[in-house]
Amino acid sequence: MFKHFNGKVIQVIESLDVYDACSNHVINIDTALQNVFGIESQIYVTHFHPEREKFANHISALEANEEDIIIFHFSGLSEFCADAVIKQNCLKVILYHNITPHYFFEKNSHLYSYCKRGREQLKEIIHHFDFATGVSDYNLKEIIELGYNPDKTFKLPIIIDDIDEGNFLEVAGSKKDNNILFVGRICENKRQDRLVEAYAKLRKAFPNIGDLILVGGYDSSSTFYKRIVTLIGDLDLKANVHITGKVSQSVLEDYYHNSLCFMCFSEHEGFGVPLLEAALHNIPVLALDAAAVPETLGNSAGIFKDEAELFDKFEKVCSDDKFRNALLDHQKRVLHASDYNAWIKIATNFFDKIIGGPDRFKSVSFVICTFNRADYLERCLDYLTRSYNKNFEVIVVNGPSTDDTSSVVERWRDKIIYADNPVRNLSISRNIGSNLASGDIVAFIDDDAMPFYDWCDCILAYYNSSHNFVAGAGGPTYYAGSLQFQAIDILVDSFGSGVSNPEKELYSNPDYHRTLLGTNSSFRRDYLLSVGSFDEEYDYFLDETDVCFRLIKNGYKVQHCANAYLRHEFAQSDNRVSKYKYNWFSIVKNTVYFALRFNEGDKDFIIAQTRKIVERERIAYLETGLRSGEISSADFSSLVKSVWDGFDAGIAAANHPRKLIELAPNNNGWLPFETVSANKSFNKLHIVLVTKEFPPFTKSGGIGTLYYHLASELLLQGHDVTVITQGSEDRIERGNFRLISLAAPECNDAYTDSAIANINLSWSLKVAIALDALHEELPISVVDTCLWDAECYAFLQVKNELNIPLVVRLVTPLIVADETNGWNMPAVDKDLLVGFERAMVQSADAVVPISQSIQNTFTKRYGIEADERFNIINAGIAYWPSYDVSRGYNDISHFPELVNAKQQGKMIYLFLGRLEKRKGIDVFIKAISQFNHQYPEKTNDVMFVLAGNDGVGVNALLDEHLNGQQDNILLLGEVSDWDREKLYAFCDVVVFPSRYESFGLVPLEAFVHGKPVIGSSGGAIPEVVLDEQCGLIFDDGSEVELAEKMARLCKNNALYEMLSLGAKARVKYLSSNRSALQSEELYNRLILGIKSL
């Protein structure tokens, strides 16, 4: 019934006893949870009777997950359990069984103190609970009178034992005795004294009645017990009134069976289980009209207000068969309304309210607020088309952009819901989106974000499997240009200070609450509406945190969906220009505003505390930038002024009412977003990539870059990806991504006569062992590796036994590399290594040439025919640039010569890569000389930039070919990966004169930035650089042709623009996204093929 629920229901009670109504209720609920509702359940206690040991866990071990529900049974002072429950980070429900008011008991007595402290504790703890239940409306009324929201209460009565219909077949007078029975502890609120007095009078009026049986525990030292004993003696009833103490269940049933009626003078009952137990044994119940008694008995005719009415009803019970039978029939109806089956129906309604049914959330509205990020917006929309789930719509709120955003919107206009915001205020944009949303869930992502393909499935599944108090949820967010998390989870205190990826202990700290990263956040639309959506005072920063805090304050939960992964670019914006140049005015204004909204007490104290935080977290940060020279004194002063101007503005803003909205009922209609994967059956795979290179964890190279981009895209597709690489890193696990670093082998084994072959064999053996162990841990679907170094050679021996297909990607083979680089390897080394490569290809389940050129080269040089196992899949990279805020995005001021050249209007030609002859650096330098001589009128219009590790003695080459005429040449040396991106962005043309490439990633990296490439005709380069479409091709090794192509592009705006547009189109076609999709299709084919054997 509730098997979809992803949590447990944990019941907590101070003591779990036998023959105790509350304890029995706990056991009965536990049984129903497991056997009827299909919910995992547990019981935690401080004390338990030995017979209850199998049910009980000690309260000290309580550790609930946030998805769990705790039901705390409260019926008296809780010494340990209440505190333990309150500390838990989950949905907390109190089930109130009632506590007798202390004024019933003698002052200074144990019961007086116990009940007084218990009722005081109820006042203290009740508002720590998210929902309240009571076994009666009477009990709930008491909770509501303490200020608890009546909308968050529910009556969950005691479960009554199964009805024995045989009891109702007995006729009047068939009882063996005419005893009067009362069951309950002898204490003041039960008023056994009034019952004894009434019994004495009844004996005189009805001399044939039997004895009065008082069943229940007692404290023989209590004043009230002594008064009862004295009263019995004074009324000469010692032979007729029997105080039994606690009795066994069988003895109790005998008492019920042999009694004429059950009589109760109790003045305080929160429910009164014995009243219904008596009804179960088909004896009339006569009870005082007090507390919950009339409710429990359904206002039966047996309720009396005074002794006179009692005597009248008792007489009718004894002599009026019509009255007696009518009373018994009514009691029977009450029992049927309170029996197990009836309770199950009530409990079903309760859990429907608390948990909800499956599939209650069916749709998502993505709201994307954009400002001057046209390219990122287009990428975001493009990636959303890959979603496996089709039950979502996309709402784009633009504003007020001044770039090409309107053109992007126009291209997608029939697929999205669109609105403009004339004000630069993120909260206003989000509220516009919320009002336009039709989905059950409203998800907010940034324009520079990419949700994983299964994000929508995961978030809907999470809400549908969670309890009904979950108002918001988000998941882990990767930085788009890395495999590192921007944030997994975030907690924030009431001053707006956040802790990313907090330690476990912080979740139980009441000063901290979860917030959601704005780019990976979702909310139930109805709950978002209930709190007024976003406060439009927050133009930027803490906007979603404010929503989260208001939802939590209103009794809802903001939770963490561990598999709702998303990649976030953290792209440059007007609010975030560089490492230190943020919109500090808004950040600090909203920090102060937030602190004043969510802290109570002295306003001046709150402001003073916030000032200290701003000084510690903001001013000190800017001082760091000043000391390091990353910002100037003038910049520092300006930024500090923004901080304190924002501080004052935040104080002023808090003096005004919140700027909330009422979300309007949506009449816009549902516009499902068109996807390309919606009908695709997603088969989650565990893909293992074996590569010695895997940046940023190892050195960067072509193979490493290929696999980095492939891994990133496979993760986006929702797969588990493990990379086995060579290095000293500890094992890394980040969501679905794992990195296993193996140390380079210490080769002491002489497998062959070749030292290099022995090293490669030793490495491949380590890889095979690691794969075998990993397969035990998480079954591997496919292994993917490159030909180079034959890293999976040893794995060939076990792959069939393990039933794991192997994909081998063809890159530059050893024979070609040896010739191209002029290594002149000894035959003993070369023959063995070539043999390893040949064996890899021959044994692979699939062979993936990364270009047609490399397939042709390999099959020709190795004499292996390209059979049906060969599948050309081009290497690909992400088709967007990757920058880093900490490195100043595209700031290139540390290369002043470049900046000056650009300011002078010069066209910048960039050579980026290793400065070696294999990469054609000599051809480029000769072409520069040719250009300067052949086109002297253009020499001042250009700058030639050489960036990369010098492996050839470039200065000597320059001297040789340019004779000191190097005014338009700039040597930058080796540059970082981040500066590579900046150089691509800053230059105008990339020159790629490489003599041989199996594919060539440099042209793709240039295309990302829309830069045309002048490339050689060597190897696969013409497959990447389409001549006259995205670049120009010259004959391999011809400096004359290269010079001519460079001159042709110089100041030729029409040609340049055409090639630039072609470059952007080309990289999108040759993207890592396309490569990964083709690889995924290949993997699935292989797996199906293996399974069919």
In a 3-state reduction of DSSP, which class is residue 155? strand
**Beta strand pairing call for 57-58 and 69-74:** unpaired
Torsional sign, CA 1017, 1019, 1022, 1024: negative
Q: Which helix (H) or strand (E) holds 983?
A: helix 977-986
Residue 886: pLDDT band by 50, 70, 90 thresholds?
A: low
Q: Residue 110: pLDDT above 50?
A: yes
CB–CB of 285/169 below 8 Å? no
The CA angle 234-238-244, to the nearest 5 degrees, is 125
CA distances (Å), origin 791, targets 559, 705, 724, 763: 43, 17, 10, 7
Q: Residue 1091: pLDDT above 60?
A: no
- Note the pLDDT of residue 441: 98
Q: What mean pLDDT comes out for the span 749-760?
A: 92
Q: What is the second-level CATH architecture of the domain 165-336?
A: 3-Layer(aba) Sandwich (3.40)
Nearest in space to 992 (alpha carbons), one of 1075, 933, 1044, 919: 919
Pick among 3.90.550.10, 3.60.110.10, 3.40.50.1950, 2.40.50.100: CATH of 368-653: 3.90.550.10
CB–CB of 682/1081 below 8 Å? no
Residue 1092: pLDDT band by 50, 70, 90 thresholds?
A: very low
Q: Which CATH superfamily is domain 9-155 in?
A: Glycogen Phosphorylase B; (3.40.50.2000)
**Residue 648: both structure tokens together:** 């004052």
Name the fold adopted by 886-1069: Rossmann fold (3.40.50)
485-487: strand order across its sheet: 449-451, 566-568, 477-479, 485-487
Sorted by where each begins, the domain ranges of the chain are 9-155, 165-336, 368-653, 686-705+715-862, 886-1069
- For the chain, the distance separating the N- and C-terminal CA atoms, rounded to the nearest angstrom, is 40
Q: What are phi and psi of 965, to 5 degrees?
A: -85, 80
- Note the pLDDT of residue 511: 94
Nearest in space to 1032 (alpha carbons), one of 1048, 1019, 1014: 1014
Residue 978: pLDDT band by 50, 70, 90 thresholds?
A: confident
Q: Which has the minimum average pLDDT: 339-353, 664-678, 702-716, 796-810?
A: 664-678
| Residues belonging to the chain | 1093
CB–CB of 72/12 below 8 Å? yes
For the segment 530-554, what is each residue's pLDDT rounded down to a tens digit?
999 999 999 999 999 999 999 999 9
Q: What is d(CA 869, CA 846) in angstroms, rounded to the nearest whole number?
A: 5
For the segment 587-639, what is each residue's pLDDT rounded down to a tens digit?
999 999 999 999 999 999 999 999 999 999 999 999 999 999 999 999 999 99
**Residue 263: both structure tokens together:** 């009589």
Q: What is d(CA 929, CA 938) in angstroms, rounded to the nearest whole number?
A: 12
Residue 1093: pLDDT band by 50, 70, 90 thresholds?
A: very low
For the segment 562-574, what is each residue's pLDDT rounded down to a tens digit?
999 999 987 667 6
Residue 679: pLDDT band by 50, 70, 90 thresholds?
A: low
Residue partners of 663: CB distance under 8 A and separation at least 6: 431, 434, 435, 525, 528, 529, 533
Q: Which helix (H) or strand (E) holds 738?
A: strand 737-742
Q: What is d(CA 1005, CA 216) in angstroms, rounded to the nearest whole number?
A: 85
Q: Which CATH superfamily is domain 686-705+715-862 in?
A: Glycogen Phosphorylase B; (3.40.50.2000)
For the segment 646-657, what is each residue's pLDDT rounded down to a tens digit?
999 999 999 999
Q: What mean pLDDT comes out for the span 418-430?
A: 96
For the segment 443-502, what is each residue's pLDDT rounded down to a tens digit?
999 999 999 999 999 999 999 999 999 999 999 999 876 788 999 999 999 999 999 999
CA distances (Å), origin 949, targets 230, 697, 704, 957, 967: 105, 20, 18, 15, 21
Q: What are phi and psi of 485, to 5 degrees?
A: -80, 135
- Note the pLDDT of residue 976: 87
Query: What pTM does this model have?
Result: 0.90
For the segment 488-536, what is each residue's pLDDT rounded down to a tens digit?
999 999 999 999 999 999 998 999 999 999 999 999 999 999 999 999 9
- Note the pLDDT of residue 624: 95
- Note the pLDDT of residue 21: 87
Q: Which residue has the tokens 């060939």?
A: 796
**Residue 870: both structure tokens together:** 């060969």
Which class for 899: exposed (0-12), middle (13-18), buried (19 or more C-beta within 10 A)?
middle
Return the axis-axis angle of helices 21-35 and 340-354, rounded to nearest 10°.
70
Q: What is d(CA 588, CA 653) in angstroms, rounded to the nearest whole number?
A: 12
In a 3-state reduction of DSSP, which class is residue 544? helix
Q: Establish whether domains 368-653 and 886-1069 are of one fold.
A: no
Residue 822: pLDDT band by 50, 70, 90 thresholds?
A: confident
Nearest in space to 338 (alpha carbons), one of 108, 160, 575: 160
